[in-house]
Chains A and B, each alone.
Chain A
Amino acid sequence: MKNILTVNQLTKKFGYLTAVDNLSFSIEKGNVYGILGPNGSGKSTTLGIVLNVVNSTSGSFSWFDGNTSTHNALKKVGAIIERPNFYPYMTALENLRLVCKIKEVPFSRINDKLELVGLLDRKDSKFKTYSLGMKQRLAIASALLNDPEILILDEPTNGLDPQGIHQIREIIKKIASEGTTILLASHLLDEVEKVCSHVVILRKGKKLYSGRVDGMLATYGFFELKCANEKALLEFLKSHSGFGTIKSDNGLITVFLEEEMNSEELNAQLFKKNIVLSHLVKRRESLEEKFLTLTENQSN
């Protein structure tokens, strides 16, 4: 498969602080990637480096298998970093014309993209009169002007109201469904879980995980159980080979599975042993729980 971006042992130091620490990953065409990490984990710095606005301390990166210079590669990339930056005194249309000139694409696409983000009727308003949500949408339109091979979004819903967040998500989903490769940096896990197929998880500039989202969540799930006869239940669970970690918290027993087992089966087995459950739920871990265990393990 074609590599769009390859990052190789990238390191960035700001004085004593190491913002990005020996980071390597690669991005293949057609997937939707998420870069996850708490605030200050080096997401934006990493994106800044590959987008030619931050100088790396060491390491390298290459766009499109290294066949073009970075600035020419960026003409095939659409990117939004943190806040939408446009000329406040120019209208949306004028701003987009400028971007067209920089990216060397014809003006003819401007209207389509403005329509896509729902700003066509405000195209002649000055950028400074826009609300934050509109600014963010204009930034997306601008990033799409060159029909990019990859769209890079850094915290695209940051600071937006629920409606704005919803609009941006819808736009992202629409773009992803058209087969555009997307790289989404965020600390909002449900956002990443909803749209991404692959994740790179960072913490303090180090890579904790990189690979498929479902690979990361590939567990057999866990049961939440409640029972009057807690002691008997715990004994049964410990003796059974299919169960791993058991946690008991305020009468709620959480037990992680090590092999496939459905809830009817468990219920039937327990009933045979005269253990009657008052609560039985089978769940799978969410990305959030997985992420928190991953980052916690590393901090200890």
Chain B
Amino acid sequence: MKRLLQIEYIKLWNNRASRVLIIAYFVLLTSIALIAAIKFDIGPVKFHLAEQGIFNFPYIWHFNTFITAFFKLFLAIVIVSMMANEYSNKTIKQNLIDGLSKKEFILSKFLTVIAFAVVSTIFVFVVSMVLGLIYSDYNELSIIFSDLEFLLAFFIKLVGFFSFCLFLGIFVKRSAFALGFLILWQVFEGFARGMLRWQFFDKDTTEIIMGFFPLNSMWNLIKEPFSRLSAVQSVANQIGEEIAVNYHVHWYEVLIVVAWTGIFIYLSYALLKKRDL
């Protein structure tokens, strides 16, 4: 396992484009701390975002995992191109001739995906912890370590998404087209939702069905955190709206994404095995 990771490390780290994107990604993850610096001081109006409660434990776990998940697109580019480049450089052929089995090849890519997800999760954990310790109104240990399932959801979400990228890279063999396909798929899921809602089902049934689509299931893992903010809640109450969303991470949602991850990795392997290079 260590050997496979080392192989991928040599391939990725010596590629300047990948290296820049990876560094940029982790800088961005850290930069979420900069939100704390958003501060308006216009005469009598004093607004400091960090004091609006977004960094309160345990809410911060939810908020930070939701926001940082958007940055995953950076790594998506890296992962799609690390797969597609193997085809365009024909190095996949050479790797296999040199004695890497097809299983090891897929495994080395999947391990890289896992490694990216693990490091990202640790990063988000550390950054959130530091921010929380500075700005949170509650500092009891039991509160700090509640709602940690958002980190698990974040990890599963990244692994699922990256596995999808990996599969697209193998399937399409060209990084630009693979990324295009990813966007196309997102559009397709939106289209499917519209069609289902319009022609066949009511709102709730549509949501349940959409929950089985790969990108939508990943999106469902961490719901939007904004309506949970007390400021937003109070505004909503004033205009007579009741916001009732179940914010929790549900086990069946995790299961769907894990299933998709398995399907994507298996399909990648099956495709590689079947193809002549």
Contacts and interface: CB of A to CB of B under 8 A. Distances in A.
A79 interface: yes
B46 interface: no
Contact of A98 (B11, B16, B97, B277): B11
B276 interface: yes
Nearest to A51: B97
Given A88-B89, A89-B16, A99 B97 contact: no
Nearest to A69: B101
8 contacts: A53-B93, A55-B276, A74-B97, A75-B98, A75-B99, A85-B91, A87-B11, A87-B91
B94 A85 contact: yes
Interface string B82-115: 0000000111011111111110100000000000
B91 A53 contact: no
A89 B91 CA distance: 12
B99 A53 contact: no
Interface of B: 3, 6-7, 10-11, 14-16, 89-91, 93-102, 104, 273-274, 276-277
A204 interface: no
B99 A72 contact: yes
A78 to B, nearest CB: 9
A117 interface: no
A72 B96 CA distance: 11
B15 A53 contact: no
Which residue among B7, B15, B16, B99 has the maximum number of chain A CB atoms within 10 Å of its CB?
Answer: B99
A53 B277 contact: yes
Contacts of A74: 96-99
Contacts of B10: 90, 94, 97-98, 101
A86 B98 CA distance: 12
A55 B96 contact: no
Contacts of A55: 273-274, 276
Contact of B277 (A54, A79, A102, A104): A54
A53 B276 contact: yes
A53 B97 contact: yes
A130 to B, nearest CB: 14
Which residue among A54, A89, A102, A142 has the maximum number of chain B CB atoms within 10 Å of its CB?
Answer: A102
Nearest to A45: B276
Contacts of A99: 98
A71 interface: yes
A227 B11 CA distance: 71
Contacts of A211: none
Which residue among B89, B94, B273, B277 has the maximum number of chain A CB atoms within 10 Å of its CB?
Answer: B94
Given A53-B93, A55-B274, A101 B7 contact: yes
A98 B108 CA distance: 13
Interface residues of A, number: 31
Nearest to A102: B98
B235 to A, nearest CB: 52
A142 B97 CA distance: 11
Interface string A58-98: 00000000000111101101010101011111100010011
Contact of B14 (A52, A94, A102): A94
Contact of B276 (A54, A72, A77, A90): A54
A48 interface: yes
B90 A83 contact: yes
Contacts of B6: 101
B7 A71 contact: no
A98 B5 CA distance: 11
A103 interface: yes
Contacts of A53: 93, 96-97, 276-277
Contacts of A83: 90
Nearest to B275: A55
Contacts of A72: 99
Nearest to B7: A101
Given A98-B11, A101-B6, A101-B10, A86 B99 contact: no
Contact of B101 (A71, A89, A103): A71
Contacts of A70: 101
B98 A81 contact: no
A98 B99 contact: no
Contact of B91 (A48, A86, A101): A86
Contacts of B15: 87, 89-90
Contacts of B102: 52
B189 to A, nearest CB: 34
B14 A90 contact: yes
Given A98-B7, A98-B11, 20 more contacts: A48-B277, A51-B96, A52-B101, A53-B93, A53-B276, A54-B277, A74-B99, A77-B99, A79-B97, A79-B98, A81-B97, A86-B94, A88-B89, A98-B10, A101-B3, A102-B7, A102-B95, A102-B98, A104-B3, A142-B98
